[in-house]
Structure 1
Amino acid sequence: MQVQQLAYFLAVAEARHFTRAADVVGVSQPTLSKQVRALENSLGTALFTRTRHGAELTSAGETLLPHARRIVIDVANAERAVHEIAQLRRGRVRLGATPSMIDGLLPDVLREFRLTYPDIELEVQEAGSRVLTDHLLAGRLDIAVLIVPLAVSSPDIETHLVFRERLVLASPRDAWLGEEVAVTDLNDLPLVMFREGYDLRDVTVRACNRAGFEPRFAVEGGEMGAVLRFVEAGLGHAVVPEIVLSSRTDLARSWIVEPPLAREVAVAHRDVSSLPLAARTFRDLLLRKLG
């Protein structure tokens, strides 16, 4: 069993097609098929059921899949670590975060890291917590700042709670409801709602359901920036983290009480010993600044 064979196996498992997988990894389809068949021969069992339209994992292939991912990720991490030059003169950090973190707290952390380590590349991905967890598991990210317990639980991911984030009701200035509102008050309000799968959508809908009603959506489907702009335009109200309103002077804030709404923010990553030096250094800064 060779690491390259496992990488080809993973490409076919994701593409469910040998030709498309070959295009992804940059080899010819016969070369990829030959290596996958060699892997199957070494294991003594078929990993794919080949059809006219593609390829599906067998039960043996499903069993191999998480182990193959872990091995390929570990080898890639080892190669990155070996190739880094001492004193962080080269490297890359692949960071994922929820939109509210990117809009609120992360710019200052990124700026400090960049000033200290100007030669380290920073790659930032914005997504919901479940997507970020999937990308950590697949090795596409080194570190993620996400919401728990909305993120997918996995023994391969370490999470460090850093703070509890208070949620508030954002309203147009001319439709401010006062310093405090109860969750039941949302029953009469047109809400600007995030897209399906968005952390804040889940939190808001669950809170309304526990209060005995279904929320009414005036507009739905946006990301953080779009939702805030829609509220500024007077289309409705939205439940958002307090931090994102700090620079939004056109929006009014009401504390949500009875019950107060909040969520826990965590820094997540794979086993810290497998992280490249640059990513470990950035992780340590994150924990200091957010904790």
Structure 2
Amino acid sequence: MQLRHLAYFVAVADEKSFTRAADSLGVSQPTLSKQILALENSLGTRLLVRARAGVELTSAGEALLPHAQRILIEAENATRSVHEVASLQRGRVRMGATPSMVEGLLAPVLRQFRAEHPAIDLEVHEAGSRDLTAELSTGRIDLALLIVPLASQIPDLETAVVYTERLVLASPAEADMPDQMDVAELEDLPLVMFREGYDLRDVTFRACHAAGFEPRLSVEGGEMGSVLRFVESGLGHAVVPDIVMGTRTGLRRTRLENPPLSRSIAVAHRPLDTLPLAARAFRAVLVEALEG
């Protein structure tokens, strides 16, 4: 079994097509088929079968896939680490964060890290916590700022809480709203709601249900930017992190009490000693900035 065989196998499993996998790898389809056959022969079993809808994994292929993905991730990390020098003159950090954290927390950290390590490439993935957790598990990103507790536990994923943020009610600037209100008073307000999978959606629904009512939705399905714009346009109100309100002159902030709403933010990554040097250096700057 060779790394090349595993890379070809994972490509076919991802694309569900020998033709598309060959194109993505830059090899001919006969070459790809030959390498897959060599892998199957070395293991003594079929891994892939052709079906009407495309290529499907056999049960043996399904068992091999997560191991193959992990091996390729570790091989890539090893290669990256070898090419990095101790003084961090080169390298890349693949960082994930939710939209509110990108807008409210991450930019100053990126600026500080760039000033200290100008030769390190920075790559930001903006998504919800569930999607970022999946990207961490498959090795597409090195570390991420996530909302905890996580909806599902991922083996070997380490988390450390670095920040607790207050949630507030965002309303149109012209709305006649108090500076403070109880969560129960949300019952009378039309709410702009985030899409499925957003932890802010879950937090809002849980708070409303705990107060004994079903929230009344005016618009739903948005990302952070669109939700804030909908509120600015007068379509309703939204429960959002306080950190996104600072530069929004078209919004009015109301503190939520009884109970106050907050959420914990953690930096998450695979075991620290497996991270590339650049990612470890970025984590140190990130933790210092947020905990300080």
TM over 0.5: yes
Sort the Cα spacing of 1:60 and 1:176 in 2 relative to 1 into closer, same or farther, 3 A: farther
* Shift in Å, 1:257: 1.6
Question: How far has the Cα of 1:94 moved from its partner?
Answer: 0.6
State the SS of the aligned residue for 2:87.
helix
Q: In 1, distance between residues paired with 2:172 and 2:244? A: 15
CA–CA separation in structure 2 for the residues paired with 1:282 and 1:12: 34
- Structure 1 unaligned blocks of 5 or more: none
What are the equivalent positions in structure 2 for 1:93-172 lying under 5 Å apart?
Answer: 93-172=93-172
Match of 2:178 in 1: 178
1:233 and 1:101 mapped to 2: Cα distance? 23
3-state SS of paired residue (1:240): strand
Is the aligned partner of 1:253 residue 2:253? Answer: yes
Report sequence identity in percent. 65
Shift of 1:151: 4.8
Gaps in structure 2 of 5+ consecutive residues: none
* Residues 168, 242 of structure 1: 8 Å contact kept: yes
Q: Deviations over 1:188-232 (max 9, x none)?
A: 111111122122112112222233322222122221122112211
Q: How does 1:254-269 map to 2 (within 5 A)?
A: 254-269=254-269
Q: Does 1:38 align with 2:35?
A: no
The aligned counterpart of 1:227 is: 227
Alpha-carbon separation, structure 2, partners of 1:26 and 1:117? 34
CA distance in 2, matches of 1:176, 1:151: 37
Report what 2:280 is aligned to.
280
C-alpha separation in 2, matches of 1:49 and 1:186: 54
Contact 1:133/1:151 (<8 A) preserved: no
Deviation, structure 1 residue 279: 0.8
Following the alignment from structure 1 to structure 2, what is the Cα–Cα distance between the partners of residues 109 and 212? Answer: 40
1:176, CA displacement in angstroms? 4.0
**Structure 1 counterpart of 2:10:** 10
* Letter of the structure 1 residue corresponding to residue 281 of structure 2: T
Measure how far apart 1:49 and its partner are: 2.4
Q: What residue is the counterpart of 1:201 in the other structure?
A: 201
CA-to-aligned-CA distance 1:240-266 (integer Å, 9 cap, x gap): 001111122331111112222111101
Superposed counterparts of 1:30-109, under 5 Å: 30-109=30-109
Q: Would the aligned equivalents of 1:150 and 1:199 in 2 still touch at CA under 8 Å?
A: no
Task: Tell me the secondary structure at the aligned position of residue 174 of structure 1.
Answer: coil
- TM-score, normalised via structure 1 length: 0.95
Deviation digits for residues 30-49 of structure 1 (CA, Å, limit 9, x no counterpart)? 21121112111111111122
Within 1, Cα distance between the matches of 2:211 and 2:107? 36
Answer whether contact 1:176 1:252 (CA < 8 A) is retained.
no
Q: Aligned Cα RMSD in Å?
A: 1.4
Deviation, structure 1 residue 64: 1.2
- What is the aligned length? 291
The whole-number CA distance in structure 2 between the counterparts of 1:214 and 1:169 is: 17
Q: Which moved more, 1:113-122 or 1:225-234?
A: 225-234
Contact 1:176 1:253 in 2 (8 A): no
SS at match of 1:161: strand
Q: Distance in 2 between matches of 1:176 and 1:252?
A: 9
Separation of aligned partners in 2, 1:57 and 1:29? 18
Q: Give, in whole Å, the separation in 2 of the partners of 1:41 and 1:212.
A: 61
